[in-house]
Amino acid sequence: MGTLHRLVLDVGREEALRRVDPAERHLVRIAADVLADEADGIGVTYSGFCQAALPHKRLAPDEPWVRRSEQVTLMVEPGRILRPGAAEPELTGVPYGSRARLILLYLQTRALRSNTREVELGRSMREWLQRMGIPHGGKSYAEVRDQAARLSTCKLTFYYAAAKGRTGFSNERIVDDGLIMLDDEAAGGDARQGSLFIERVRLSESFHAALRRHPVPIWEPALQHIQNNSMALDLYVWLAYRLHVLQRPTPVRWAALHTQFGGGFKALRHFRPTFLGNLHLALATYPDARVEEAEDGVVLHPSKPPVAKIA
């Protein structure tokens, strides 16, 4: 169990807050809330996204995204949508940030729980996102609509090491088809200017099959505490994927961490403090995770998974 979680259990929340450095008090509050939370919410994500994640920030509309890890390389290419009455399709851009990650987790969890490729992106998703701490309406809802459109139209390619020095690849689309609605009231009834909203989607058969073969269970209530932080979300699912299968302490050096998680950070010296801050956030939401900081990176220790099984 993590040091902060043990401290909270030993002396209680308020005393733990008094004993730690002021800069760590937000971590104590998260650790205490996680320990006290008895909600039964099990989510799931595809193992490929635990090894190579989406970008943290917006890219140019036509710019693809490439992210590498030790085992997998992910390339995401932006899709296009043709609005009613428009002469040319428009690029939707690559999905990015914490909202895209949460929507993707929602899609995967609903599809696996219901054993169906059909997933609603209307009221059901809004209620789920509200449980994650994202309010309905205003700027947040506009971001959700935008990221849903990006996820529904983008193309994924996973590259992996094959036998005899060869590289294999798998082309995927997250979504095969869906139903688009246009909220054109704010644009005076002009559908070419209204905002897009994907109401319902059907996950692609290949992506749904891959998810069923390689699911990684996560604990949904943990996400509430890091829902605005894309790197902390990436680190949480990475630890959920890696720690419980380890047989011995496993070092991961800074160069590998920078390659996998450092999108947008050119220099390692800038990446390192950001990574450690987000690692502490992720660990505060995962009480059984055992991760040791080292001068040349981190050391992962065999740990219990965040949840025992997939519901």
Tens of each residue's pLDDT in the chain, 311 residues: 688 999 999 999 999 999 999 999 999 999 999 999 877 788 999 999 999 899 999 999 999 999 988 788 999 999 998 877 778 999 999 999 999 999 999 999 999 988 999 998 878 888 888 888 888 777 887 888 889 889 999 999 988 877 777 888 888 899 988 876 655 443 444 444 445 567 789 999 999 999 999 999 999 989 999 999 999 999 999 999 999 999 999 999 999 999 999 988 888 989 999 999 999 999 999 999 999 999 999 999 999 999 876 54
Residue 308: inside a domain: no
Residues 70 and 14 in one domain: no
Claim to verify: residue 72 and residue 206 sit in the same structural domain: yes
Cα-trace Rg, the chain: 20
Q: How many domains, in total, are found in the chain?
A: 2
- Residue 277 inside a domain? The answer is no
Closest Cα partner for 81 from 180, 212, 172, 5?
Answer: 180
> For residue 244, is it within any domain?
no
Tokens of 238: 């990475």
Residues 13, 73, single domain; the answer is no
- Give residue 56's identity as a one-letter amino acid code: H
Residue 249 is assigned to a structural domain of this protein:
no
**Tokens 């890219």 belong to which residue?**
59
Residues 57 and 188 in one domain: yes
Establish if 242 belongs to a structural domain.
no
Domain hosting 75: range is 46-213
* In a shared domain, residues 196 and 133: yes
Is position 195 within any domain?
Answer: yes
Contact of 103 with 54, CB cutoff 8 Å: no
What is the pTM assigned to this prediction? 0.90
